[in-house]
Structure 1
Amino acid sequence: MTTTTPIIFAHRGASGYCPENTMAAFRRALELGATGIETDVQRTADGKLVLIHDESLKRTAGHAALVKDITYEEMNKLDAGSWYGKDAEFAGERIPLLEDLLALTKSTDTMINLELKNTVIPYEGMEQQVIDAVRKHGMSDRIVISSFNHYSLVLCKELAPDIRTGVLYMEGIYEPWKYAAAIGADALHAYRYAVLPEWVNEAREDGVHYHPFTVNDEAEMERMLACGVSGIITDYPDKLVNLIQERGAR
């Protein structure tokens, strides 16, 4: 991870332009120049790892069930694209498997940020499942596993010390880089307001990188770049690509 060219993490794919956490959003992110993709991992009733943010299918797939209570076969019949926008451009998009995203990006150098959605629903054993999938594709060096469940991050490090982890948090952690180091984490996935240049510098001295979320305003992107963060999570990767190119041309 370099501090000179921050990783451009497309938040749930290019979710500013496509329905979030769909293959359309992931492909669009790559087309727009994203160097990383951020997505959310949950597990179906029959043990399949799927990429969806909400515990409920209601908002993005129009079904009242929880992800944990439905099989992948049932889930794969749902339309996860029609809710986005007024036309039918994305009708028929499905909720992807983790395997689908790994297969899409395996031959690239794209960084993948897998957020384990295991704070509300614990999904026992999901950490090992995710690690096994990553190892199967030979992508351990291009993965960051993040979560608001920091116990889960500790377990991930115990299971796979070579795979990076990122501490998701909002505001108010005192010297969070020391906390990250204490639990073996490599990065701070901080809410954007919890990022200051002096903190980024202190964290870097301790070998901890900042990847703030979710940064969509160009002025705020500029502020994050000026802080020297190692990556930025955004719905609009093309905006960030352009800003980085402009800075390089100055």
Structure 2
Amino acid sequence: MDSVLNIAHRGASGYCPENTIAAFERSIELGADAIETDVQMTKDGHLVLIHDESLKRTTGSAQWVQHITLEQLKALDAGSWFDRSFHGERVPTLEELFEIAKRHPVQLNLELKNGVVLYPGIEEAVIRAIRQYGLSDRIIISSFNHYSLVECKRLAPEIRTGALYMEGLYQPWEYAQRIGADALHPFHYAVMPEWVKEAKARGIAYHPFTVNDPEQMKRLIDAGVAGMITDYPDRLAALLLNKEAKE
């Protein structure tokens, strides 16, 4: 069996508040090979890891990320919404995640959240940070904004990119080649074994999201995907270990 990359969605977000240091560290403990996270930018230009453009759901603040400074953002509690035991967790910076990556041999999937808010210059800022930490060979930059992916590839041909999409993309491996993407990151229902085979023949990897059901995980493993994004990396790790033991 080819190795399947176990990518923790916003960290181990099934067990910890998403996109926090607690979630990232827990995902490594649970067997993740890679951490997926969302990158946005504060008013004063800092790269921070949070999914929603609004801070309401995960911190209770009605403000948007783009409208506050890093200092203001760091004053907010990003853990209690999930469980009181996580009180005091903060929205991390990209550099804080890179520090974790320096201590552990994990890959990182950085999703640029620049669809609703465009964040001018975010591509350059992310690539500059990646290069400063010497992590170019351990990064996949993904986005639903494919114009942004093309720009990332222009700026940094050595860094892998993954095209996020929901469903209905015809012959996506050809589209991936056209925009220079190294991987396809579809919603998991939009994956068939024959499509995986076609993509693999062209050097394009499939990393479907967000796969939490063990039966779906088994289906995708059998389909030959290169990796999958999950809230529960322990579930995928256990399946992969069991399958390996049988072979």
Category of TM-score, reference length = shorter chain: over 0.9
The AA in structure 1 aligned to 2:244 is G
Instruction: Give the secondary-structure state (helix, strand or coil) at the position aligned to 1:89.
Output: helix
Aligned to 1:228: 224
CA-based RMSD of the aligned residues comes to 0.7
Pick the aligned partner of 2:187 from 179, 184, 191. Answer: 191
Offset at residue 83 of structure 1 (A): 0.3
Structure 2 residue matching 1:188: 3-state secondary structure = strand
1:169 correspondence with 2:168: no
* Separation of aligned partners in 2, 1:189 and 1:103: 26
- Structure 2 portions without partners, runs of 5+: none
CA offset at residue 58 of structure 1?
A: 0.2
Query: Which range moves more in the overlay, 170-179 or 100-109?
Result: 100-109
User: Percent identity, aligned pairs only?
Assistant: 61
Deviating above 3 A after TM superposition, structure 1's stretches of 4 or more consecutive aligned residues are: none
From 50, 53, 56, give the equivalent of 1:52.
Answer: 50
Report the CA distance between 1:108 and its aligned residue. Answer: 2.4
* Superposition deviation, residue 214 in structure 1: 0.0
Structure 1 residue 106, shift from structure 2 partner? 1.7
- CA positional deviation for 1:220: 0.3
Deviations 1:41-77 (A, max 9, x none): 0000000000000000000011000000000000000
| Correspondent of 2:177 among 181, 205, 217 | 181
Work out the CA distance in 1 between the residues paired with 2:131 and 2:226.
24
Q: What's the CA shift for 1:122?
A: 0.5
Structure 1, unaligned stretches of length 5 or more?
Answer: none
Residues 152-182 of structure 1 show CA distances to partners (whole Å, capped at 9, x for unaligned) of 0000000000000000000001000000000
Aligned twin of 2:78: 80
State the secondary structure of the residue aligned to 1:232. strand
Matched, 1:242 2:227: no
AA in 2 matched with 1:75: L
SS at match of 1:154: helix
- Matched residue type, 1:120: V
TM-score by length of 2: 0.99
- The more displaced of 17-26 and 98-107 is 98-107
Pick aligned residue for 1:218 from 197, 200, 214: 214
Structure 1 SS opposite 2:54: coil
Q: Name the structure 1 match of 2:197.
A: 201
Aligned pairs, number:
246
Shift of 1:235: 0.1
